[in-house]
Structure 1
Amino acid sequence: MHRGKGMKFVGDSRVPAPESRKTMLPKDYSEYPGKTEAFWPNFLLKEWMIGAVFLVGYLCLTVAHPAPLERIADPTDTGYIPLPDWYFLFLYQLLKYTYASGPYTVIGAMVIPGLAFGGLLLAPFLDVGPERRPLKRPLATSFMLLAIAATVFLTWQSVATHDWAAAERQGKIVEKVDFDKTSDGYKIASENTCITCHGDNFQGGAGAPTLIGTGLSAEEVAKIAVEGKKGPGGTMPAGIFKGNDEQLKKLSEFIAEIGKK
């Protein structure tokens, strides 16, 4: 109680403050018996245990399924079929379509992904309603379902249409074999552009298989050199070899002996 000029001011703690003046404070932990725990060490120990389980699981997967290794990258091999990591497969598939490849690569590589990810970034500003149920947020729900459907479809298409057999053949590690590059057989192969497709060490490339250790006889090699070949191992058109019979014999014998054990 305070005294003033002929006035008395009385304060009573039993008078509740207006609702608008109440401070919104969370309840004390003591009001939730059995539902709280100390951050250290209880909660943090549980987090570490879960993290350790996942870490050991990933380590076991890396030991059981090591990352596949391919042959040394060859920048001159224009026939190599690349395949990005799984989380980029949908963008990889997008670049296969006519409107997003060739002269329109900029559209597939920058414009379309830029619009898609920009739309996701603008989602919180496009839908500012208080509703949290998906059915009450048609705009945000539609954009999210469209993004998920497009990503899943493009990823599935990329895996389904990829030439896995050709990629495995191209990426196969081939044992390097030394041979005489001054021999007549190698000179004939160079003159008939064999090394253009099969590589200067016959390791394969540009969509052509390796010629090291083919297991073919000289007669079979000669037949392929003249008549060509079509099949899963690659396509070789007929008429590439332009030499005479003697040169054909030397070339076929040379190739049949490469890598032969």
Structure 2
Amino acid sequence: MHKGKGMKFVGDSRVLAPEARKKMLPKDYSEYPGKTEAFWPNFLLKEWMVGAVFLVGFLCLTIAHPAPLERIADPTDTGYIPLPDWYFLFLYQLLKYSYASGPYTVIGALVIPGLAFGGLLLAPFLDNGPERRPFRRPVATGMMLLALAATVFLTWQSVATHDWAAAERQGKIVAKVEIDKSNPGYEVFKSQGCINCHGENLQGGAGAPALTATGLKPEEIANIAKNGKGAMPKGIFKGNDKQLKQLTEFISGLGEK
């Protein structure tokens, strides 16, 4: 056998030749003026700048308009009407309707939101056509417009129908006042059943306002005790004139400087 005969050399290289690699590279950005740009740092820098502007604006807003604070939460106050954050107002309003509350709470709290959000999650699988124009996708566009309209309407109704005056009274921060429970006026307060609505420390509750630091004169309090006001009915006070005087002077003196 002669040297070199009967042997073959086979080459297999997985590395592309320079000419082939050059063809696979994307074209230079300069060939698309105004249409594309490098992600780093051009595009990302613009994103950061816009985000910084919004962040500074949001911080200025929080400084100019601090979040309103209410009194300390009282779990025993069953008359307090809570209000969720703005992004849950549409669900809050939904639970006010007949077939979404009471015995049907499961429908309003689970079934309807579950169908809505479930449809949103399944949207990529239910509508996977190539069309991007809204009018060429009537089902998906119609469902999205319906959901958007329902959310806006329910949110607006929640804000429009909420009793903001009652909410302000309920959440009002009242200065802590030392209650002299040995005072004869407090004994009248208990004996007349006022404690059931206004609380042991006259802090209010069950829809009744706090009786500390009212700023009212004894005569004004006596008029309310006899004739009622708001949710308080007329003639609820059954005591005599002496008891009425003790009660009104006691309440009027609470919180005075």
Letter in 1 for 2:247: L
1:123 maps to 2:123: yes
Corresponding residue of 1:74: 74
Corresponding residue of 1:19: none
- Quote the Cα distance in structure 2 between the aligned partners of 1:121 and 1:26: 37
Corresponding residue of 1:222: 222
With over 3 angstroms needed to count, the CA separation of the structure-2 counterparts of 1:161 and 1:125, relative to structure 1, is: same
Corresponding residue of 1:59: 59
Corresponding residue of 2:87: 87
Corresponding residue of 1:247: 243
Deviation at 1:64, TM superposition (A): 0.6
CA deviation vs aligned residue, 1:191-216 (integer Å, no higher than 9, x gap): 22212222222222221112122222
Corresponding residue of 1:143: 143
Corresponding residue of 1:98: 98
- Quote the Cα distance in structure 2 between the aligned partners of 1:131 and 1:198: 63
With over 3 angstroms needed to count, the CA separation of the structure-2 counterparts of 1:210 and 1:33, relative to structure 1, is: same
Corresponding residue of 1:13: none
- Quote the Cα distance in structure 2 between the aligned partners of 1:221 and 1:172: 20
- Quote the Cα distance in structure 2 between the aligned partners of 1:30 and 1:98: 60
Corresponding residue of 1:256: 252
- Quote the Cα distance in structure 1 between the aligned partners of 2:25 and 2:181: 83
Compute the TM-score of the two structures, normalised by the length of structure 2: 0.84
- Quote the Cα distance in structure 1 between the aligned partners of 2:179 and 2:128: 72
After TM superposition, the structure 1 = structure 2 runs for residues 175-214 of structure 1, keeping only pairs within 5 Å, are 175-214=175-214
Aligned to 1:67, what secondary structure does the other structure show? coil
- Quote the Cα distance in structure 2 between the aligned partners of 1:43 and 1:92: 40
Deviation at 1:239, TM superposition (A): 3.1
Aligned to 2:81, what secondary structure does the other structure show? coil
Number of positions where the alignment pairs a residue of Structure 1 with one of Structure 2? 234
Deviation at 1:31, TM superposition (A): 6.3
Letter in 2 for 1:239: G
Letter in 2 for 1:192: Q
Corresponding residue of 2:47: 47
- Quote the Cα distance in structure 1 between the aligned partners of 2:137 and 2:48: 37
1:238 maps to 2:237: no
Return 5+ residue gaps in structure 1 as ranges.
1-24
Corresponding residue of 1:17: none
- Quote the Cα distance in structure 1 between the aligned partners of 2:226 and 2:136: 70
Letter in 1 for 2:202: F
Compute the TM-score of the two structures, normalised by the length of structure 1: 0.83
- Quote the Cα distance in structure 2 between the aligned partners of 1:115 and 1:30: 46
Deviation at 1:34, TM superposition (A): 4.1
Return 5+ residue gaps in structure 2 as ranges.
1-23
1:110 maps to 2:106: no
Stretch of structure 1 that moved more, 204-213 or 141-150? 204-213
- Quote the Cα distance in structure 2 between the aligned partners of 1:38 and 1:129: 31
Q: Is the 8 A contact 2:94 2:108 kept in 1?
A: yes
Q: Is the 8 A contact 2:225 2:237 kept in 1?
A: yes
